[in-house]
Amino acid sequence: MTEHFQQTGLGVAKGASAQKRNRAETKTRIRFAAERVFAEYGYSGASFSMIAAEAGLPKSNIVYYYSSKKALYRVVVEDIFNVWRAAADTIHPDNDPLEALGDYIDTKLDLARTRPYGSKVWANEIIQRAPIVQDYLEGELRRWTEERIAVIDGWSAAGLIRPVSARHLLYAIWATTQHYADFTHQIRTLNDNKDLSAAQWEETKQAVKSVLLCGVAVSRGQNCSVPGT
């Protein structure tokens, strides 16, 4: 069997035959089913039969498309990492610091809302000491983090923001935004067992930006305004 290593999500290369298109669709369907099951039951708690049931396919079909549980899991983890990485493009020397960080927080909170399962899988993987994707951490994540820290330090040096620890600011942003995905259930319980409404999500964005970015601004009014959406 030839391997395709089709990394991308829903899209498929144009010109693909009907068979290949269907193949990609099936793989994607399995991937999202797996993301949900891995998130809710952890790597060990998730079984092929659960993923198969979630995807509406027989068990052996899962094995056919992803040769092992580990391989399927890795694809899921890498996917959410790539999505997050793209969200941080806004942290760039040319951008306005407060606006850039505000946009980053907004985007990550949007992802917490739309892709909570991916975030949970990532959290699980890290909690368990990254048994599957440690190479990713030491390679891409490390490089990517140092780059962003350099940008923020640059803003500091240019006097565009107060001198803060770029690393810990980044960690605080990660922690807080991902909290709204990973701890959805706790937040829901503390919200009378109701999911956050659209208005509450807006409120959340404003509050998170207010808490995390007020300490960053070089000056502020009494109400410490941060860029809205």
Determine, following the binding rule CB under 7 A, whether residue 23 of this chain makes contact with DNA: yes
49 binds its own copies (CB under 8 A): no
Three-state SS sequence of 11-53:
CCCCCCCHHHHHHHHHHHHHHHHHHHHHHHHHHHHCCHHHHHH
Of the residues 12, 53, 63, 214, which one makes contact with DNA according to CB under 7 A: 63
Tell me the three-class secondary structure of 123-168, residue by residue. HHHHHCCCCCCHHHHHHHHHHHHHHHHHHHHHHHHCCCCCCCCHHH
26 lies in the binding site for DNA (CB under 7 A)? yes
Stretch of 44-52, 117-125, 147-155, 176-184 lying at the interface with DNA (CB under 7 A):
44-52
In the complex with DNA, the residue whose CB is nearer, 30 or 216, is 30
Min dist. Cβ of residue 154 to DNA (A): 46
Q: Does 133 bind its own copies (CB under 8 A)?
A: no
> Judged by CB under 7 A, which of 8, 49, 186, 191 binds DNA?
49
Give yes or no for residue 59 binding DNA (CB under 7 A): yes
- Out of its own copies, DNA, none, what residue 50 binds, judged by CB under 5 to 8 A for its kind, is DNA
The helix-helix angle for 69-87 and 97-114 (nearest 10°) equals 150
Residue pair 147/139 in contact (Cβ under 8 Å)? The answer is no
